Structure 1
Amino acid sequence: MCARAGFWSRSIGEFQRLSRIAINMETLEEPTKPYHLIKFDNAAKLDDLKLMCDFQQGGFSKAEITHHPQTASEPAHVRFRGSISTELPPNRSDIQRSGYAAFRTKDFGRTLFGQWYWDVDPYDYLAMKVKSDGRRYHINIQTDSLVPTDIHQHRLYSATPGEWETVVVRFGDFVRTNYGMPVEPQSEIMKNKLKSVGIGLIDRVPGRFDISIAEIYATNFKSDQDAADADAQLSNEK
């Protein structure tokens, strides 16, 4: 019953998206509103995430994701934290490297219109509202690629560690990788078929990590100020 409900919910959501495109002709002009991939406004959003860590293969790193509701000083968000250990698991000669933790959104199911993907083709940037500890995190994007293990990655650069900030990355700046290594030929992200987005810590530096994420969305603006200016201009034109 739950799976059937999810199928119809996704189908209705896709129908609404296609209807907006048809009515507003969104594909013919640059969208000014952000397109949220995921917003962590309630604890149920934890069910949409998949946690990955070497402890699942016998390693000694630890990781957890917890939800935190909105307060007077912070937006609602998830907190991804734990500790990295490069110690190899005993009696596992097949494992030569350890020391990673990551999470991503879970794979989508199907709809009446076929497989569900995020279509961010009209947008130039991926944006995240985060509070980072300054460690070497990477943003990971997976698409409906010919090579299922391909991941497009970009470093998550924090300008103000310990404070909330919006990190914006051009989709064209992501690098195609396979098992963490850049591969050739490089190819652009299939922006009309995004399967998942997430954050990983793969620098293999032992110690604690802690990063909070409030929302992830596609946008056509390099900064919050640019988006606010565009909204103000549209309001003045009405």
Structure 2
Amino acid sequence: MLRHIKELFRIPALQNGVAINKAPLPILSIGNLDNDSSISKLKWSVFTDRSIGGKSEASFEVSTTGNHPINETDGHTGEIRPPSATFSGNLSNMRPAADPTVKRTGYCALKVEMPRSFRVEGYEGLELTVRTDGRSYITNLEVESFFPDELYQGYITGLPGGQWLTIQLPFQDMTLTRLGRMSYIQKELDSTFTLESIGFLIADGKTGPFCLEIANVAAVGRIQCRPLRKPSMSDGNGLKKEKRAGTNLEEDKKTGARSEKSQ
């Protein structure tokens, strides 16, 4: 009896002020339509370089059935697809001939606006279940700030294409950017903030089709595994500094602008 009472009033374990045994906080849910973080309840927008005369194209589609087998001819494994959202399109580095002031194109972005006052408190990072095509992507976090053009960015890179993987992005490793460029003064994103939007960006300098599938995004109280290799980023946002990529849970276990389309 005494043991049960102690368990009831047990204080959560802390690591650097973070409750490491907190349940994950859903930020972007695809399959659970009743959740407040369900994509069906959130406003989303797709942006491309077409607003400045570029030729890139992008779309965002949601499948909530989760029972579509993947066609083996498209380079995937034929596994059953979980409920997911697909950010896909074609990246082009062509610049408008009629406007020589445009120095760089080749980017597509997705932005999902969070409910008002979406508080993230006492968490250490993001956990994402995704499937990439092997290309590098950037996760954008817009948090409440005095500077409206600030974004914190984490990198999804070094993942094998065509596999569903769960990765983690530590908040402390995210890069602060302003107006699309790395800020000279870096403020570490701590474990407590108000999230205004989450998004995904591709600007890896490579032309051709891209596809990022997203099954789930949540904040987690503890980063559990080693990082993937560091990416050498030189993207459309002018980020050239090497930063830590997301951590791959499956691999760790084995080894120990303007809106063009809106919802």
The one-letter code of the counterpart of 1:218 is A
Q: What residue is the counterpart of 1:139 in the other structure?
A: 139
Taking a change above 3 Å as real, the CA distance of residues 158 and 129 of structure 1, as seen in their structure-2 partners, is farther
Q: Secondary structure at the match of 2:120?
A: coil
Q: Structure 1: which 4+ aligned runs deviate by more than 4 Å?
A: 25-31
Q: Does 1:33 align with 2:40?
A: no
Q: Compute the displacement of 1:90 (Å).
A: 4.0
Q: Compute the displacement of 1:44 (Å).
A: 5.9
More helix by share: 1
For residues 145 and 202 of structure 1, the distance between their equivalents in structure 2, rounded to whole angstroms, comes to 25
Deviation track 1:58-92 (CA, whole Å, cap 9, x = no partner) reads: 32001011112311712111111111111112433
Q: Does 1:70 align with 2:66?
A: yes
The one-letter code of the counterpart of 2:164 is W
For residues 56 and 106 of structure 1, the distance between their equivalents in structure 2, rounded to whole angstroms, comes to 20
Checking the alignment, whether the CA contact within 8 Å between 2:133 and 2:210 is kept in structure 1 is: yes
Q: What residue is the counterpart of 1:231 in the other structure?
A: none
RMSD: 2.7
Q: What residue is the counterpart of 1:203 in the other structure?
A: 204
Taking a change above 3 Å as real, the CA distance of residues 52 and 33 of structure 1, as seen in their structure-2 partners, is same
Q: What residue is the counterpart of 2:178 in the other structure?
A: 178
Q: Compute the displacement of 1:165 (Å).
A: 0.5
The one-letter code of the counterpart of 2:25 is Y
Calculate the TM-score normalised by the size of structure 2. Answer: 0.66
Q: Compute the displacement of 1:122 (Å).
A: 1.1
Checking the alignment, whether the CA contact within 8 Å between 1:49 and 1:103 is kept in structure 2 is: yes
The one-letter code of the counterpart of 1:216 is V
Checking the alignment, whether the CA contact within 8 Å between 1:105 and 1:198 is kept in structure 2 is: yes
Taking a change above 3 Å as real, the CA distance of residues 94 and 28 of structure 1, as seen in their structure-2 partners, is closer
Count residues in correspondence. 195
Taking a change above 3 Å as real, the CA distance of residues 71 and 105 of structure 1, as seen in their structure-2 partners, is same
Q: What residue is the counterpart of 1:213 in the other structure?
A: 214
Q: What residue is the counterpart of 1:113 in the other structure?
A: none
Q: What residue is the counterpart of 1:9 in the other structure?
A: none
Q: Secondary structure at the match of 1:55?
A: helix
Q: Secondary structure at the match of 2:172?
A: helix
Q: Secondary structure at the match of 1:118?
A: strand
Q: Compute the displacement of 1:222 (Å).
A: 3.2
Q: Does 1:53 align with 2:54?
A: no
The one-letter code of the counterpart of 2:84 is H
Q: What residue is the counterpart of 2:163 in the other structure?
A: 163
Q: Does 1:97 align with 2:107?
A: no
Deviation track 1:117-146 (CA, whole Å, cap 9, x = no partner) reads: 322221101111100011111111111122
Deviation track 1:176-218 (CA, whole Å, cap 9, x = no partner) reads: 0123322121102263211111110112211111110011110
Q: Which runs of 5+ in 1 are unaligned?
A: 1-24, 109-115, 226-238
Q: Which runs of 5+ in 2 are unaligned?
A: 1-10, 69-79, 225-248, 251-263
Checking the alignment, whether the CA contact within 8 Å between 1:31 and 1:123 is kept in structure 2 is: no
Calculate the TM-score normalised by the size of structure 1. Answer: 0.72
Q: Compute the displacement of 1:155 (Å).
A: 1.1
For residues 124 and 28 of structure 1, the distance between their equivalents in structure 2, rounded to whole angstroms, comes to 7
Deviation track 1:87-131 (CA, whole Å, cap 9, x = no partner) reads: 1124334422111001021264xxxxxxx2322221101111100
Q: Compute the displacement of 1:151 (Å).
A: 0.9
Q: Compute the displacement of 1:35 (Å).
A: 0.4
